[in-house]
Structure 1
């Protein structure tokens, strides 16, 4: 027997929500033991009416006002949603079928029970004797409309997402604001939920209407300030990019660079491709350099590692005699705060050779006396997965055979 009160204290939930969670945990266990694919629940039309009315009192949108769905999570079936509670009791009594009523359903300290025993009877007596049927029907209508809007929104998500990597989703802001506000809100909610569900520490955190509206306001005001959302989510608008990040600190990365070869970092969703070339190829490669591409003296590149940039990292930028903090370089480069945690560097010990996307270190450049050079390009896995050309294909025509 589960201790509902203890579970509520442990999880910081109300007793009702704790009982709800434990009930579904029990049902999952029954399905596992019986090797069942679905379980039928006893929710009926009166339960649906109560749910719709409760959510109306709480200020839910069309999704919440759609009430309980016939099928939840592909395994919880509610076949009696269209049948009234009194009809079910009469059916059972007429056939001598035993049934049990939860004694807690009479406890009016719970809001649902007050709605059931006080508010709905009052509405039936004073306003509409068919209020339960009306509320249930309204829920069904809104659920159908919500399903249509949700399908439309999911199609729109794939249109406006311009980058998706572990813990990060970037939307094309101009495309996003072209959608009707109803679809726009659903896109934003979907993106936030996707990131929260992927984060084990934040899974279960709810995306509220106020959180969605906070992002809508960022778009309306064109604010570039870093916004904080539930579950350690952050959001920032820079130009046409609306970036959501699950956590400001990126996963730890420290990997030996393969020269020549391909260095993959799936935890960061990136690939570093390197090619060993004669130094005479530098003049042909030079137009490609900058951003996510760099060329190194081959001797200097020996022993490089791909890693996160760390507090205190310093680099001697190309053409300069002194060193500069990497954090200051990122500020000077106007790198958005939300993206600074994902910056990676190539380094040998504490000596930084390349701040990817920002600058090459002077001590690692290709010189007139260099015999060989290493050409490197950093790419996101998502860019390749979405059908764009690979790093090799993008540079192949400009590199010597």
Structure 2
């Protein structure tokens, strides 16, 4: 089967293109991307494609880089395909961001390519990776100790946008295609130096394995990647369902998972759920590795309630009473200390505590027990309070006498017993008299000394709403 038909087969099998797609082709000028552009041009009518070309001059090789850009421009114009040439000072970017040459080039190329694709409304972005790249990638990930996702290598399609039509054809076939059609690709001499890990694998390790162990090693690596990719996709679809069940809540500043449900999962699924939580909350899994997942596992299994672990990029994970909480360090400011006097009755918003407080007065009367039935309110003997109260947050050493209990108790111990998360304790209102006698904690408990009796004349109702 000729190269063109192999590529067509890959496109159809993996549903890389839909008729009428607008496709931005990333072209460096090398054999892979030139062959890709030439093949897509030949298939243009079959798939009713609108083609565009993107080329980035990384400014690594001076005049040679400029010559690459000019060659891509002329090649695209010869095929009557619109072309966009960008320049970016990647060497300076490397110094400013402490990145490797390859990582920096890839990051900038991706960023500018996506920007252009969005500007022109491209449906797909076509990249030139081939089967040899797949074998090299799988070997790199194997040497790094990757899991199934890494060993599945490069996907033919990612995020329903990035496509790799050459992924199932070999470099030698691409070189032959370029020669057959006289494409005269540009060659980057740095690709032939065993300096970077990928180059060493391509130029030294894989040839050694072919000569000494298995001449079909690259085919085997590609086949293994395909097997693992299919099985990994199945596992991921299962994990998505489990994740939705275990996700308690998610916002820009916090994500939490139900702890007991998480602990019940098989370890393999639990790890994937944790990685998905990180990916969902952080927007990326970059910088988070297996040993970080192990840290979270330890927090889940043997960590104490309230324990927090620190992960890269300011991510924190906390073991709550019932939830595992992911949050950003900078989103946990210390609650401002407040102490304000309020008149009864009244409706007040206390923004520093994130609450609204509604204070009302009702006459007790002989049937007062029939009045105090609403569960979202506290009922207090107003006769002992007067017409003004103080609302503050907790202080060290605070004690009160919880209704229904003998003796006094530290508010700290009460909150622990009530399983109030540490980060919320300073935001819970403490209701006191003007003499600072505590008569209620948030909407949780009344002090026994301020309970309603048959002698009570007026009842203060307290309702606390979160805003």
Residue 145 of structure 2: aligned partner = 59
Residue 217 of structure 1: aligned partner = 298
Q: Which of these residues, 324, 328, 331, is aligned with residue 242 of structure 1?
A: 324
Structure 1 residues 337 and 102: CA distance shift in structure 2, 3 A: farther
C-alpha contact 1:293 1:377 (8 A) present in aligned 2: no
Query: In 2, Cα distance between the equivalents of 1:173 and 1:114?
Result: 45
Residue 330 of structure 1: aligned partner = 412
How far residue 190 of structure 1 moved from its aligned partner, in angstroms, is: 1.4
Structure 1 residues 371 and 215: CA distance shift in structure 2, 3 A: closer
How far residue 36 of structure 1 moved from its aligned partner, in angstroms, is: 1.4
Query: In 2, Cα distance between the equivalents of 1:271 and 1:242?
Result: 25
Residue 464 of structure 2: aligned partner = 376
TM-score normalised by L of structure 2: 0.63
Query: In 2, Cα distance between the equivalents of 1:354 and 1:182?
Result: 47
Unaligned residue ranges in structure 2 (runs of 5+): 1-86, 404-409
Structure 1 residues 377 and 151: CA distance shift in structure 2, 3 A: same
Where do 1:292-311 residues align within 5 Å? 294-295=378-379
Query: In 1, Cα distance between the equivalents of 2:420 and 2:100?
Result: 35
Query: In 1, Cα distance between the equivalents of 2:317 and 2:387?
Result: 39
C-alpha contact 1:301 1:364 (8 A) present in aligned 2: no
Q: Which of these residues, 428, 438, 453, is aligned with residue 345 of structure 1?
A: 428
Query: In 1, Cα distance between the equivalents of 2:114 and 2:105?
Result: 14
Query: In 1, Cα distance between the equivalents of 2:390 and 2:307?
Result: 37
For each residue in 1:47-73, what CA deviation from the matched residue of structure 2 results, as whole angstroms up to 9, or x when unmatched? 111100000000000011111112223
Structure 1 residues 145 and 32: CA distance shift in structure 2, 3 A: same
Q: Does 1:100 align with 2:186?
A: yes
Q: Does 1:149 align with 2:235?
A: yes
How far residue 23 of structure 1 moved from its aligned partner, in angstroms, is: 1.1
Query: In 2, Cα distance between the equivalents of 1:11 and 1:364?
Result: 62
Residue 307 of structure 2: aligned partner = 226
1:228 partner SS: strand
Q: Which of these residues, 112, 117, 123, is aligned with residue 203 of structure 2?
A: 117
C-alpha contact 1:236 1:338 (8 A) present in aligned 2: no
Structure 1 residues 284 and 207: CA distance shift in structure 2, 3 A: farther
C-alpha contact 1:295 1:375 (8 A) present in aligned 2: no
Structure 1 residues 356 and 347: CA distance shift in structure 2, 3 A: closer
Query: In 2, Cα distance between the equivalents of 1:285 and 1:149?
Result: 56
TM-score normalised by L of structure 1: 0.72
For each residue in 1:227-279, what CA deviation from the matched residue of structure 2 results, as whole angstroms up to 9, or x when unmatched? 4131333334455543333337536889999x9889799x99x8868585735
Unaligned residue ranges in structure 1 (runs of 5+): 198-202, 321-327, 380-401
C-alpha contact 2:129 2:164 (8 A) present in aligned 1: yes
Q: What's the Cα RMSD here?
A: 4.4
C-alpha contact 1:226 1:337 (8 A) present in aligned 2: no
C-alpha contact 2:357 2:462 (8 A) present in aligned 1: no
Q: Does 1:158 align with 2:158?
A: no
C-alpha contact 1:235 1:338 (8 A) present in aligned 2: no
Query: In 2, Cα distance between the equivalents of 1:338 and 1:62?
Result: 39
For each residue in 1:102-138, what CA deviation from the matched residue of structure 2 results, as whole angstroms up to 9, or x when unmatched? 3332232211111111111111111222222211121
2:155 partner SS: coil
Structure 1 residues 33 and 173: CA distance shift in structure 2, 3 A: closer
Which structure has the greater CA radius of gyration?
2
Query: In 1, Cα distance between the equivalents of 2:330 and 2:439?
Result: 24
C-alpha contact 1:167 1:247 (8 A) present in aligned 2: no
1:59 partner SS: coil
Where do 1:1-400 residues align within 5 Å? 1-164=87-250, 167-197=253-283, 206-221=287-302, 223-224=304-305, 226-230=307-311, 231-237=313-319, 240-247=322-329, 249-250=331-332, 278=362, 280=364, 283=369, 294-295=378-379, 317=400, 329-330=411-412, 333-334=415-416, 339-343=421-425, 344-346=427-429, 356=442, 368-370=456-458, 373-378=461-466
